[in-house]
Amino acid sequence: MSLLNLIEEAQKSDLTSLEELLRRQEGFVFSMLFHLNASPDCIDDLAQEVMMRVARSIKNLKKKENFKCWITQIIYNVFYDDLRKKKRRPMLLSIDNFYEDAIDSHQKDIEDKKIHTEEKLKNIELNEVIRNAIGGLEEHFREVVVLRELEGLSYDRIAFVLNTNVGTVKSRLARARMKLRQKLKNYIE
């Protein structure tokens, strides 16, 4: 069933469609929370809260084609509500843990198959460099990068999610990219 059909059925209180709709968003919800720098300790709880809010308010979504933007705003709100509530800052180092298992298993895989190619090792190193570069950005820069690059939202959609104007989005994204370019200069020049 298409995404639009699922939304329509979920709005008619069809639980099977609602569950399918939520399950299809899991990857996006977790990825977005991770890239916003949510702590691994609370990422499951935050994702649960996002899904709860989506389920409770799906009937209020008027334009089904705006679903991605709408759920992005819910993720963003849940993340920052939690941040404000706990009066804490994102843990810049915590992101190392989240994909640790995936990286470990990737590394084991390489060992098992004896494919120590320079290419694969470079990719692992590059992934870490990029993860640290994005994680090290100030919050207002990181959030525009995540919204743009992970979900591919247009500038006006990002402005809507962040409750700001397109000019601010444009300048933040430009500055964020300048910072990333500096951090990744060894890989792009």
Partner 1 sequence: MSNIKCDSVMENLSAFIDGEVDKKLSDEIKKHLCECIPCRRSFSDLMKMQYLIKNYFKENIFSGNSKINYEKIFSSLEKQNDTIYIK
- C-beta of residue 107 within 8 angstroms of C-beta of residue 154: no
Closest contact distance (angstroms) between CB of 186 and partner 1 is 11
Does position 52 bind partner 1 by CB under 8 A?
Answer: yes
Smallest distance from the beta carbon of 133 to partner 1, in angstroms?
Answer: 9
Q: Encoding tokens for residue 134?
A: 């994005």
- Of 59-98, binders to partner 1 (CB under 8 A) are none
Question: What count of other Cβ atoms lies within 10 Å of the Cβ of residue 162?
Answer: 19
Half-sphere exposure in the Cβ direction for 172 (13 Å, CA): 22
Say which residues have a Cβ less than 8 Å from residue 1's Cβ, sequence separation at least 6. Answer: 9, 17, 20
Tokens (6 digits) for 35: 């890239």
Positions 8 through 37 that interact with partner 1 (CB under 8 A): 12-16, 18-19, 22-23, 26-28, 30-31, 34-35
126 binds partner 1 (CB under 8 A): yes
Cα gap 128→1, rounded to integer Å: 37
- Of 35 and 83, nearer to partner 1 (C-beta) is 35
DSSP 3-state assignment of 151? Answer: coil
Q: Which residues bind partner 1 (CB under 8 A)?
A: 12-16, 18-19, 22-23, 26-28, 30-31, 34-35, 44, 47-48, 51-52, 55-56, 99, 101-102, 126-127, 130-131, 134, 145, 148-150, 154-155, 170, 173-174, 177, 180-181, 184-185, 187-189
